[in-house]
């Protein structure tokens, strides 16, 4: 069985207790938005997710997108599902009202996006990329481009793509070679882009490609890249899709997972040049990309939660259904009663709940930053690589645990467990590999401000110890306080050792990323446990079973995951210098 139910109650708890959603809405001057509305929205989105999108997940895995006659045909059922998604207005959730959006906070969009990605990650990538192109146009597009493209992108009538990567330009976008030549009121684009998610499909009458390319006189490197809009169909005088542009998908990748998400090789300008329109100013394309990066990276981190939650639900169902061994009275024992299976289920559950808390807190910080709250931008910058890096590493571990819970059946495709494991594997790679995230965290987010934003976060974390003690969770508080103190030591160590040897920072960056991930997860779970203890089980809408499960899950997190902070701290403070003893040739 591979059914999916939206974890609406936990989402409500996080929005209510950790994000303090009603206060956030007040700060954002959103009079009509409150927790009650957010809960209704999450619940209703959950219906579409579990009843329409989730059943198509396995269909898309075994019937991936196909290319023929320069056209990509999406997986069966996906177009109908997309129409339903669009007609029910889900694409409009967070976009500004001026372009037809509902202008809801980013954190609500994030809570809802979790459900789409859990139900069907390959499907949900399409709206996710569209959202990226919407943000780019809102932030940097001319009025004319905004009027022409934004309303249809916001409504979901058209979808968007992001064309960055080229065969020789992956993590290093300075190497982008696609050309853009001015030609009257537009540019002619020529070149090839790879790994273009949902680069083509037949679900909508138009697709809007955002393309990074270089002008003929552009400076070399990162300062010579511009951003263009290249529609699949050029717009006629009425603004409707007309003539086919000189841009097409020429190949689909054969991938480990997300088979229903067409990963296209896009060829621009095979017949003289694709018509493109510049977004913003010349040579600023890469800087524009960076303005969208926090949101995009947090979205991928969120996918890590989503796929882990889906895998957890499957594992929990299987563990209750599958019996092995007999009791003395002859009745069979469901494997959930076996302690090691229980350990794995709790590891999945605690991981998911910590990730949900962190993802929504980080998403709400983006809202706070927009509302101008002090320190919010710095917090967003700091949390983003942790959300992306740690949560996607967790996804690999937790989807693997789902397979393990299934035993031999987990290795069999028909069980559905392998798909989540395969689908999850891309998350640590795309939108900046986790190596890149780790460098971002230790360099741009820690060393560049002398650890100031990190110190502020560690201080805030330290404050939760008192909440744990007040809630009577002393053992938890002891573990937690020791880990936070270890985090502060590591911060000092990094600041002290950074000057001497930059190579060391690169070598230990990943351990730092993971350390901060486990510590942030502990912070979230500590806050959750303290809140759950403080709520009156009789009066609270969450009820005694939910609240006591929350406290126990948090305790499991502290016992199972928190010691990993110590492990990463020890590794990190060795400097890992043995990694540089061998010559390249010795590998």
Partner 1 sequence: MKAIVAVKRVIDYNVKVRVKADNSDVDLANTKMSINPFCEIAVEEAVRLKEAGTVSEIVVVSVGPKAVQEQMRYAMALGADRGIQVETAAAPSSLDVARLLAKINEEENADLFILGKQAIDSDNNQTGQMLAALLDIPQATFASEVKIADGKAEVTREVDGGLVTLEMDLPAVVTTDLRLNEPRFAALPKIMQAKRKPLAVKTVEELGVTLSNSTELLSVEPPAERQAGIKVGSVDELLDKLRNDAQVL
Residues identified as active-site: 431
Of how many residues is the chain composed? 587
**Binds partner 1 by CB under 8 A, chosen from 48, 311, 363, 484:** 48
**Binds partner 1 by CB under 8 A, chosen from 68, 238, 331, 586:** 331
Q: Would you count residue 539 as binding partner 1 (CB under 8 A)? A: no
**Binds partner 1 by CB under 8 A, chosen from 18, 93, 137, 424:** 93
Q: Would you count residue 90 as binding partner 1 (CB under 8 A)? A: yes
- Least distance (Å) from partner 1 to the CB of residue 31? 11
Give the DSSP letter string of 241-300: EEEEPSEEEEEE---SS-TTS-EEEEEE-TTS-EEEEEESSTT-HHHHHHHTHHHHHHHH
Q: Would you count residue 32 as binding partner 1 (CB under 8 A)? A: yes
Q: Would you count residue 541 as binding partner 1 (CB under 8 A)? A: yes
Nearer to partner 1, 93 or 289 (CB): 93
Q: Would you count residue 123 as binding partner 1 (CB under 8 A)? A: no
Closest CA to 131 of 113, 107, 108: 113
**Binds partner 1 by CB under 8 A, chosen from 518, 542, 557, 561:** 542
Q: Would you count residue 47 as binding partner 1 (CB under 8 A)? A: yes
Helix orientation angle between 376-405 and 339-370, rounded to the nearest 10 degrees: 160
Nearer to partner 1, 77 or 242 (CB): 77
How far is the C-alpha of 107 from the C-alpha of 98, rounded, in Å?
20
Residue 243 backbone phi and psi in degrees, to 5:
-70, 140
Give the range of 21-29, 38-46, 163-171, 173-181 binding partner 1 by CB under 8 A: 38-46
The secondary element (H helix, E strand) that includes residue 208 is: strand 207-213
- Least distance (Å) from partner 1 to the CB of residue 226? 35
Residue 545's CB is within 10 A of a number of other CB atoms, namely: 9
Give the range of 411-419, 426-434, 475-483, 535-543 binding partner 1 by CB under 8 A: 535-543
Specify the long-range contacts of residues 6-10, CB closer than 8 Å, at least 24 apart.
6/42, 6/43, 6/45, 6/46, 6/49, 6/50, 6/115, 6/118, 7/309, 7/352, 7/356, 8/39, 8/42, 8/43, 8/46, 9/542, 9/546, 10/353, 10/356
Chain position carrying tokens 């957890």: 312
**Binds partner 1 by CB under 8 A, chosen from 76, 89, 205, 221:** 89
Give the DSSP letter string of 107-143: HHHHHHHHHHHHHHHHHHHHHHHHHHHHHHHHHH--H
Nearer to partner 1, 51 or 321 (CB): 51
- Least distance (Å) from partner 1 to the CB of residue 229? 26
Q: How far is CA 173 from the centre of its chain?
A: 21
Q: Would you count residue 154 as binding partner 1 (CB under 8 A)? A: no
- Least distance (Å) from partner 1 to the CB of residue 159? 18
Q: Would you count residue 221 as binding partner 1 (CB under 8 A)? A: no
- Least distance (Å) from partner 1 to the CB of residue 13? 12
Nearer to partner 1, 42 or 208 (CB): 42
Name the residues that contact partner 1, by CB under 8 A: 32, 37, 40-41, 44-45, 47-48, 51, 84, 87-90, 92-93, 102, 331, 541-546
């Amino acid at each position: 069985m591979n059914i999916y139910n939206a974890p609406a109650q936990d989402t409500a708890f996080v929005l209510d207790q950790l994000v303090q959603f009603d206060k956030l809405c007040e700060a954002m001057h959103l009079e009509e938005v409150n927790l009650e509305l957010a809960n209704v929205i999450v619940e209703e989105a959950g219906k579409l997710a579990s009843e329409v999108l989730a059943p198509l997940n396995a269909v898309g895995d075994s019937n991936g997108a196909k290319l023929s006659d320069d056209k990509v045909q999406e997986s069966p059922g996906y177009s109908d599902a997309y129409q339903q998604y669009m007609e029910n207005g889900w694409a409009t959730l967070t976009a500004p009202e001026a372009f037809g959006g509902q202008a809801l906070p980013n954190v609500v969009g994030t809570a809802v996006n979790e459900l789409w990605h859990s139900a069907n990650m390959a499907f949900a990538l399409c709206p996710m990329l569209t959202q990226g192109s919407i943000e780019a146009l809102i932030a940097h597009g001319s009025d004319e481009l905004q009027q022409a493209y934004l309303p249809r992108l916001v409504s979901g009538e058209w979808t968007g793509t992001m064309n960055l990567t080229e065969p020789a330009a992956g993590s290093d976008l300075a190497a982008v070679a696609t050309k853009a030549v001015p030609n009257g009121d537009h540019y002619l684009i020529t070149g090839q882009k790879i790994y273009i998610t949902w680069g083509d499909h037949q679900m909508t009458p138009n697709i809007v490609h955002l393309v990074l390319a270089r002008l003929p006189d552009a400076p070399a490197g990162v300062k010579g890249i511009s951003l263009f809009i290249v529609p699949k169909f050029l717009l006629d005088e009425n603004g409707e899709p007309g003539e086919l542009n000189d841009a097409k998908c020429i190949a689909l990748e054969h991938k480990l997972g997300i088979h229903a998400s067409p990963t296209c090789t896009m060829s621009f300008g095979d017949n003289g040049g694709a018509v493109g329109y510049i977004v913003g100013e010349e040579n600023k394309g890469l800087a524009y990309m960076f303005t969208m990066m926090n949101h995009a990276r947090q979205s991928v981190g969120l996918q890590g939660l989503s796929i882990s939650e889906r895998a957890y639900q499957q594992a929990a169902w299987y563990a209750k259904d599958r019996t092995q061994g007999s009791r003395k009275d002859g009745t069979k024992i469901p494997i959930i009663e076996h302690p090691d299976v229980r350990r794995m289920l709790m590891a999945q559950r605690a991981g998911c709940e910590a990730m949900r808390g962190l993802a929504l807190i980080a998403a709400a910080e983006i809202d706070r930053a927009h509302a101008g709250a002090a320190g919010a931008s710095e917090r967003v910058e700091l949390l983003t690589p942790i959300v992306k890096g740690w949560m996607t590493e967790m996804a690999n571990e937790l989807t693997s645990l789902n397979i393990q819970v299934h035993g031999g059946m987990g290795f069999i495709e028909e069980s559905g467990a392998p798909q989540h494991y395969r689908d999850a594997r891309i998350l640590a790679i795309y939108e900046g590999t986790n190596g890149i995230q780790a460098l971002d965290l230790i360099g741009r987010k820690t060393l560049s401000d002398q650890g100031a934003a990190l110190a502020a976060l560690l201080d805030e974390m330290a404050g939760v110890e008192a909440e744990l003690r007040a809630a009577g969770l002393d053992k938890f508080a002891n573990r937690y306080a020791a880990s936070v103190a270890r985090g502060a030591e590591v911060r000092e160590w990094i600041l002290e050792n950074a000057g001497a040897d930059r190579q060391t920072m690169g070598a230990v960056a990943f351990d730092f990323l993971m350390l901060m991930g486990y510590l942030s997860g502990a912070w979230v779970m500590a806050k959750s446990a303290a809140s759950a203890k403080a709520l009156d089980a009789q009066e609270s809408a969450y009820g005694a079973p939910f609240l006591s499960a929350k406290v126990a899950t948090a305790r499991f997190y502290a016992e199972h995951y928190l010691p990993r902070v110590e492990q990463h701290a020890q590794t990190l403070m060795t400097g890992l210098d043995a990694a540089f003893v061998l010559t390249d040739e010795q590998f």
